[in-house]
Each structure stands twice: as structure tokens, then as C-alpha cells.
Amino acid sequence: MMDLRELYQDIILDHGQRPRNKHAMEAPSHFANGHNPLCGDKITIYLKMEGDRIVDVSFEGRGCAISTASASLMTEILKGKTEAEAQQLFHAFQAKVTGGEAPAPDEALEEDFERLDPLSGVKAYPVRVKCATLPWRALEAALKSGAIGATVKTE
Amino acid sequence: MTTSAKLREIVPSDAFDPRRIRRDFPIFENNPGIVFLDTAASAQKPASVIDGIAEFYRRDYANVHRGVYRLSARSTELYEEAREKVRSFLNAEDSSEIVFVRGATEAINLVANTWGSAFLKAGDEVVLTELEHHSNIVPWQMLRERNGIKLVVVPIEATGGLDMVALERLIGPRTKLVAVTHLANATGALLPVEKIVKLAHEEGAKVLIDGCQAAPRMALDVRALDADFYAFSGHKTYGPSGIGVLYGKRALLDAMPPWQGGGDMILTVNFDETTYQETPHKFEAGTPDISGAIGLGMAIDYIEAIGRNRIQDHEEKLTGYGVDVISAMEGVRLIPAGQRRLGVLSFDVENVHPHDLATILDQHQVAVRAGHHCAQPLMDKLDLAATARASFGIYNDESDVDALAAAIKAAQEMFAR
């Protein structure tokens, strides 16, 4: 049996209980809702893009420690990134938590990507992987849909 | 079948002893140390059901209602015997009032699709409650889309019970059906169904009762209740999954058109006209879940051998103990369930999301359900996205509640920062 502390590392508990960038955004250029029907968790991701650069990002919603921490960490590393960089991080992160394969992100993104390491504990808990990826999937939907908004579901 | 003889040996006649009952359930032998508190989602199966189904396939299996040969006759006899066991389980008047379906969900869909389509028209009202499982909401919404009926929802009180004053006000001359749960799966609230039936009948409305959680926990008597329809699932009643029961009063079932067409539900077929079998066979198109029905009959044998009054007693005592233990815990809020609660505790732990809680409890071998319990309208009303839910069965005892409490404490400690 895996030690629970591998899943609930201090970083996760900290970001789960004191999430950063958790607030609504006025006039976002992009936003989307993420919904996990399995547990009822809901999250909204807001982006402010200038050109193809994310100048501001925030989220709102209610979720478990894993999804909240994942959203919080995600918003911290996304500020200032381009859309292409965000996509790279999304695919690499998905591979990290599912044990799948994806190209490693560019060298310039390495440090940011390492900040997501504490979330890799969910790999041992297949039903919880969706908690960690929900904010990222909402991000991807937001990038696609722009100011019209969209809703993605994990199921 | 030799199961009833075996049961008499293993079930003590004096005291109700969950520790001994647990030995009848192989899952506990194969998962040592597990604290299984999710019977409301699905009950574990006694060896008499597991082995009985295998034995049926080994010795007596053939299709039903078809063969002239003796093996088919024997299979048919066992299948119809199972129907008779269900009749007795519900105290229905006649076994023709027992329709085998896939589960309570299919039972309710059957009523909505046949009785609902044939007898309800635009403007007619179907009364539901905020405590319903999605399976007793969505079929009526689908019927509403087809024929414009109106859905009326009875609210709950702050104490978690059904608002009976509102119910009395909302049932009126336009009410054609009251579709209500007997025991709410998400909170454990036991509803005063006798009174609800009486109020509905006074207005000339029929009543459908979702008995999924009540069937495994208490003695049932559809005649004393005067229920028009009663639905339950085999798998929540210590039987196999894939089988369930719709009880309907004979006159109602007779008047209802069939739902699915096919073999076994017809008398004669030609391309101009087909005549249907009588109730209940006209609702059982195609080869039914033969072993499922027979397995459900075996589960009923098992339950009856223990005694349903004793089961209800046990569930009441254990629920009372659970309420005492959980509500005494700091930072834990028990979701209210009105004046009477049976077999289910839903709760919320401060600062610990139910999903995180369930993962941590699982690490302590405690299996509970975390989520919306297929009752999203109720969760919205309670302003919760989800709760954790512990539910009891005949194999649980106070030590399971203690293990739950200890695991909740461990979760609280992990999240206390």
C-alpha cells in the first residue's frame, strides 16, 4: 500500500487549503467550465490573453484537495506563458499523472513543469487522476472556446 | 436446491450476530480487514446465492417457458418459484403482479413508458420529492418531453424530512401519480409512505414507491401499504445484479400496454396482428435473466431465514449507534434525515472534501461512497457538491462504525494544518 503522504504532500495540502489565484475575473478573454460528474466537482478557468500570451489566469469553483491544488499550481505557472507553451505543459502533465507518454516540455519550461511533480502521486490512485487533470482540461477548453465559454466533463 | 437446509445450520435462531453472518459472505474472507460500509450502493452476496447460481447452471439450466423437455420445465419451475418468493417477500396478492426487470431503474422506466404513456396527458401532474434518486426523476422528465405532463416537487424540511404540509398542499385533483422513495438513498430518511399513499388515494392518484433501500432493511407489505407500484433492485437486496422487481396491482398491470416486444411476451404473432401474453409475461420480452431471478429468490430465502424484523431491528440499532458516534465528532456534520433514519449516514467533514476523505478512508480499509449519490437536486438543496455516505448491511456491527470514526479522525489529522 502506498503511503498517503505521497498523495497528500505538504505542497498539495497547502495549495488545496490556501489556493492561489482563486477568484472570478472581470471580462476574461477566455473561460471554460470543468465538471466531474463522478464527484460533482466544478471549476471555472478564466484567462486574459494578449495576443497569444496569457497575461492573467484565475479559477473558481469547489473541489477536492487534489483538483484545487492542481488548479492553484496551474495558475501559478501559466502566467506569462504563450498558448503553445500552455499546450505543451498540459500534454506533459497529463502524461505525468497517467503514466502515459508525451514529449518533455522545452528546456525553458522545465522548472515550471517540475513544480507539478507533487501531483504525480495520483498515478497510484486511478480514480483520482481526473481530479488532477480537470483544471487542465478546462484550460484547454478555454483556449479553444475564447470568450464564448465552454463546458468539459471528465466522464 | 439444498440452500434452505444449509441456512438453518448457519443462522442462529437466538441472537442476531453480524460476526456469524459475515462468515456467510465470501467477500470478507477474500478481503480480510475490509470495513464495508457501502451496502446502499450494492450489497455483498451470501455464499448461498453465489453457489446457488452456479449450481443452477450446473444442474437445472435451460431456457424458460419454451421447451417441452423436462430440463426446460425444471428451469421454468425454478424461475416461477422465484416469482412466488418475491410475491411472498412483498406480501403481494398474486405472483402475476410480480414483473422481473433489470433493476428498479428499469421498473420505473417501464411504468413511465407504459402506464405513463397510455394514461397521462398534457397538464396531468406527477408529484416527486427532493429526496429522489435520479432513477425516479429522469424517466418522468423524459415522459414530460413526450406528452407534456407537469412535474411537481415536494421540498424537504431543514431537518431533512419530507415537508408533509407541502405534500398535502401539492397533491391535488390534477395529480395522477405520486412517485416517492421509501427510504432516501442519499440521507437515510425513512418516509411515511403509508400516509403518502392515503393522501394520494384521497385525490384519486396512484402511488409508485421506490423501495431500493427499504427492501433489504425492513419487512414490506404492499397490500397493507396499498401501494399501486413498488420497485426494488436485486443487487441491493443481497441478490445478483441485473435483476429487479416491479410490483403492480393486477388491474393496473392488466390495463397497461406492453413495453418491449419480442419472444415470450406474445400469444400469437402474424404480420397483421399480434396478441400478447397475460401479466406479468407481457412485460418480459425475450429470454429473461433466469439465473438472476432464481438468485434473487435465494437471497430472499437467506433474508427470510434471518428474519426481516430482526434485520430491521439490527439496522435501527446500528444506525442509532452511528448517529451517536458521528454526531459526537468535532468538525463532522451529519446530514439531517428527518425524524426517522434507517441504514444510511451521510456526512460532511469540515475542511476535508468527501473525495479526499474517501481516498483516506480507503487506505484504512473503510469503504464508503463519496459523491452526489445520484441525487444532484438534493445536493443542490443542501448546498453541497457531495457528501460521504456510510451505509449498513446485515454483516456490519458497531466495530465498523468505530473503524469509520477512527479513519475520519486520521483524515482530520492529515488535513489539520
Query: Nine-digit cell at B207?
Result: 402511488
B120, B201: one domain? yes
Question: Is pLDDT above 80 for A1?
Answer: no
B376, closest residue in chain A (CA to CA)? A40
Least confident of A135-144, B74-83, B187-196, B380-389: B380-389
The ipTM (two decimal places) reads 0.86
Please check whether residues B130 and B216 belong to one and the same domain. Answer: yes
Nearest Cα of chain A lies from the Cα of B372 at a distance, in angstroms, of: 6
Catalytic residue among B184, B318, B374, B408: B374
Mean pLDDT of A61-76: 95
Contact present, B90 and B230 (Cβ < 8 Å): yes
Q: Using the beta-carbon criterion (under 8 Å), do B371 and A39 form an inter-chain contact?
A: yes
B interface residues, A as partner, C-beta within 8 Å: 351-356, 359-360, 363, 370-372, 376, 379, 385-386, 414-415, 417
pLDDT, residue B2, reads: 43
What DSSP element (H or E) covers B163? none
Same domain, B181 and B298: yes
Question: What stretch of H or E contains B9?
Answer: helix B3-10
Q: Write out the three cell numbers for B173.
A: 385533483
Neighbour count for residue B402 (Cβ, 10 Å):
13
Are B97 and B222 found together in one domain?
yes
Domain membership of residue B50 (yes or no) is no
Q: Is residue B98, in this structure, part of any structural domain at all?
A: yes
Residues of the domain holding B121:
57-304
Q: What pLDDT does residue B6 have? A: 47
Which pLDDT band, with edges at 50, 70 and 90, does B3 fall under?
very low
Of the residues B304, B325, B355, the one at which a domain ends: B304
Cβ distance A40 to B359 less than 8 Å, yes or no, reads: no
Q: Which residue among B353, B355, B385 places its CB closest to the CB of A42?
A: B385
Q: How far is B377 from chain A (nearest CA, A)?
A: 11
Q: What is the pLDDT of residue B315?
A: 97
CA distance A155 to chain B (A): 14
Average pLDDT, chain B: 94
**Closest CB from B360, B386, B417 relative to A17:** B417
Beta bridge partners of B216: none
* Average pLDDT of chain A to the nearest whole number: 91
pTM (two decimals): 0.92
From chain A, the residues in CB contact with B376 under 8 A are 40
Confidence (pLDDT) at B281: 95
Task: Name the closest residue on chain A to residue B356, using Cα atoms.
Answer: A64
- Three-class SS state of B187: coil
pLDDT tens for each residue of B87-131: 999 999 999 999 999 999 999 999 999 999 999 999 999 999 999
Give the separation between CA B94 and CA B141, rounded to whole angstroms: 31
Q: Do B85 and B147 lie in a common domain? A: yes
Q: How far is A107 from chain B (nearest CA, A)?
A: 34
Whole-number pLDDT of residue A4: 85
pLDDT beyond 80 at B404: yes
At A154, is the pLDDT very low, low, confident or very high (cuts 50, 70, 90)? confident
- B416: three-class secondary structure by DSSP: coil
Q: Where are the domains of chain A?
A: 4-150
CATH number for the domain running over A4-150:
3.90.1010.10
| B161-194 confidence digits (pLDDT tens) | 999 999 999 999 999 999 999 999 999 999 999 9
Whether B173 is in a domain gets the answer yes
CA distance A154 to chain B (A): 14
For residue B116, give the CATH number of its domain.
Answer: 3.40.640.10
- In this prediction, residue B379 carries a pLDDT of 87
Contact call for B359 and A39, based on CB within 8 A: no
CB nearest to A125's CB, from B354, B359, B414: B359
Same domain, residue pair B368 and B246 = no
The model's confidence at residue B13, banded by pLDDT at 50, 70 and 90, is low
pLDDT reported for residue A155: 64
Tell me whether residue B212 is one of the annotated catalytic residues. no
Q: Which long-range contacts (CB under 8 A, 24 or more apart) does B194-201 make?
A: B194/B224, B194/B225, B195/B164, B196/B167, B197/B225, B197/B226, B197/B227, B198/B226, B199/B167, B199/B168, B199/B171, B200/B127, B200/B171, B200/B175, B201/B226
Q: How far is A25 from chain B (nearest CA, A)?
A: 22
Residue B51 located in a structural domain: no
pLDDT over 50 (residue B14): yes
Check whether A148 has a pLDDT greater than 80.
no
Q: Which residues of A touch B371 (CB under 8 A)?
A: 38-40
Exposure of B55 by Cβ count < 10 A (0-12 exposed, 13-18 middle, 19+ buried)? middle
- For residue A8, list chain B residues with Cβ-Cβ distance below 8 A: 356, 360, 414-415
Do residues B298 and B326 both lie within one domain?
A: no
B11 and B90 within one domain: no
Final residue in a domain of this structure, among B279, B304, B329:
B304
pLDDT of residue A152 exceeding 90: no
Say yes or no: B204 and B216 in one domain: yes
Q: What is the pLDDT of residue B411?
A: 95
Cβ-defined contact of B415 to A65 (cutoff 8 Å): yes
Query: How many CB atoms within 10 Å of residue A35?
Result: 20
**pLDDT value, residue A2:** 61
Q: What is the CATH number of the domain that holds B26?
A: 3.90.1150.10
pLDDT at A149: 79
Please indicate whether, in this complex, the C-beta atoms of A39 and B363 are within 8 angstroms of each other: no
Q: Is the pLDDT of residue A78 over 80?
A: yes
Q: Is the pLDDT of residue B50 over 90?
A: yes
Helix (H) or strand (E) holding B208: strand B206-210
Looking at per-residue pLDDT, the higher value among B378 and A150 belongs to: B378
Same domain, B323 and B294: no
Categorize the per-residue pLDDT at A38 as very low, low, confident or very high, splitting at 50, 70 and 90: confident
The closest CB to that of A40, out of B351, B372, B415, belongs to: B372
Chain A hits for B356, CB-CB cut-off 8 Å, are 8, 16, 64-66
Contact list, A154 vs chain B (CB under 8 Å): none
Residues B299, B313: one domain?
no
Same domain, B274 and B258: yes
Q: Tell me the percentage of chain B whose pLDDT exceeds 70.
A: 97
Chain Cα centroid distance, residue B131: 14
Across the interface, which of A7, A8, A40 has its CB nearest the CB of B386?
Answer: A40
The mean pLDDT value for B28-48 works out to 98
Q: Which residue of A has its CA nearest to B350?
A: A17
**pLDDT at res. B54:** 98
Question: Which is more confident, B219 or B377?
Answer: B219
- At residue B374, the pLDDT reads 86
Residue B373 has what pLDDT? 85
Listed in order, strand segments (DSSP E) in B273-392 are: 274-276, 332-334, 344-349, 366-367, 369-371, 387-391
Per DSSP, the three-state class of B333 is strand
Q: Do A39 and B417 touch (CB under 8 A)?
A: no
Say whether B371 and A40 touch across the interface (CB within 8 A): yes
pLDDT, tens digit (0-9, with 9 covering 90-100), for B73-93 = 999 999 999 999 999 999 999
Contacts of B360 in chain A (CB under 8 A): 4, 8
Query: How many structural domains does chain B have?
Result: 2
List, as one string, the DSSP characters of chain A: ---HHHHS-HHHHHHHHS-TTBS--SS-SEEEEEEETTTTEEEEEEEEEETTEEEEEEEEEE--HHHHHHHHHHHHHHTT-BHHHHHHHHHHHHHHHHT---PPPPGGGHHHHHTTGGGGGGGG-GGGHHHHHHHHHHHHHHHHHGGG--EEE--
Cβ-Cβ contacts under 8 Å between A and B: the total is: 54
Q: Is residue B371 part of a domain?
A: yes
pLDDT at A151: 82
Phi/psi-derived region of residue B204, left when phi > 0, alpha when psi is between -120 and 50, beta in every other case: left
Query: Is A6's pLDDT higher than 90?
Result: no
Kindly identify which residue of chain B lies nearest to residue A5, measuring between CA atoms. Answer: B414
Query: Can you tell me the mean pLDDT for B214-221?
Result: 98
Are B415 and A17 a contacting pair at CB < 8 A? yes
Domain boundary residue, one of B304, B332, B367 = B304
B385 and A131 in contact by Cβ < 8 A? no
